[in-house]
Structures are given as C-alpha cells and as structure tokens.
Amino acid sequence: MPPTAAEYAARQEIPVAQVQSRAPRPTIVGPDTLEQPFPIYLVGPVQKGFGRGGKDLGCPTANLPDDSITPISSVAKTGVYYGYAQVLPPQDHLSDFHNADLKVLPMVMSLGWNPFYKNKVLTAEIHIMHNFKSDFYGYEMRAVVLGYIRPELDYISREALIEDIEIDKQVALNCLQRPAYQIYANDSHFQIPESEFKASM
C-alpha cells in the first residue's frame, strides 16, 4: 500500500508525481458500493488558499485547515477524490446566501501538493460544484469523501490541467449517481435546522 499523505508530510517528503498523459479516461470509477476507508468525514472553517483555483483554472476551491484534514490524510494517499460538501454560514450571514447555496452539493477534492504549482505544504482543496454568489471564508464547511478518482499528476501546461479538472467533475457526478453514494447527500453530518433554510428564502 502506498504511503498516506500524512506519512509523506511527516517525513517532510513530497511524492513524485507522474507526468500527465493523454490516454482516454474512464467516465466512472470505483465500485458500486463504498469500500474502506470511505466514507471519510471532514469539517472545518474555510481558509484562504493560494487564490489560483478561480483565477487561473476557473475552478474556485475552498481550503480546510491542516488539523481538519487529518481524517483523510491519515488513511488516504494523495490524489483527487469526490463526495458531497455543504457550507454553513453563521446565523447573522444567512441572508447573504440563497437557499440553493445551503444545500448539500457534489464536490471534487484535491489532496496533496499540487505538482503543477509545486506546493511546499500538504493541502486539501475542495471545489463545490455550484455557483456561489459570495465568498465564504471563515464559514464552516462539512464534507464527506466517498471515493478516489485519480492520482496527483504533473502537467505540461495549464490547459492540460484545466482539461483534467473538467473531466474530474464529470467523473464525480457520474459516480455520485450510484444509489449507494446518493444516500450520503442526506447524511446526518449535513443536517441543519429547517428554520435556517426558511430564514434564507
């Protein structure tokens, strides 16, 4: 079994990424039912990252603090994952959000060092597949990671990275259509009082 992301970080070692190839990619990955170590639950306040996701890649991401990613970094290798996520604004900021912004939404997540940008620290960057109208730095984000898509790769161009990110999104959506995965959109990890949804409408 390859080292976990946390084991690499503890050794202060960055894994060598494969060079991205143009081989056709599958449109769905993994088994029809969850296998260990999934599901993996994450929760923490969204913090500012490098600001590259939305600006450079058209794929804005939310970063979780280091201590919030231990549940996945301690059991999983680096790579791209999929699952569901939800942003929970504080009560006094609910009016900034539409009802759709509060829902449990599909996400893709990168765990690792992002070889294309040569990061020096381990990060977990979550892209929620939804067009939020406002930033949510500092707000609580909850996520459940349900499966693995692919390893971290190095890219010869930004365009090649963007192309793979778009494929990652579609693969995640396809994978989440399976009944054993769909049920996690209603997991108790995400439940919030109905009154909060009403207050935002």
Active site residues: 125
Place of tokens 């109905």: 194
State whether residue 111 is helix, strand or coil.
Answer: strand
Beta strands in the chain (DSSP E): 18-19, 40-45, 62-63, 79-88, 105-112, 123-128, 140-150, 153-154
Residue 170 burial by Cβ neighbours in a 10 Å radius (0-12, 13-18, 19+): middle
Q: In one letter, which amino acid is 55? A: K
Yes or no: say if 112 and 153 are a contact pair by the CB < 8 Å rule: no
Burial 45-76 (b: 16+ CB within 10 A, else e): bbeebeebbeeebebbbbbbeeebbeebbeeb
Contact partners, residue 98, CB within 8 Å, separation at least 6: 133, 200
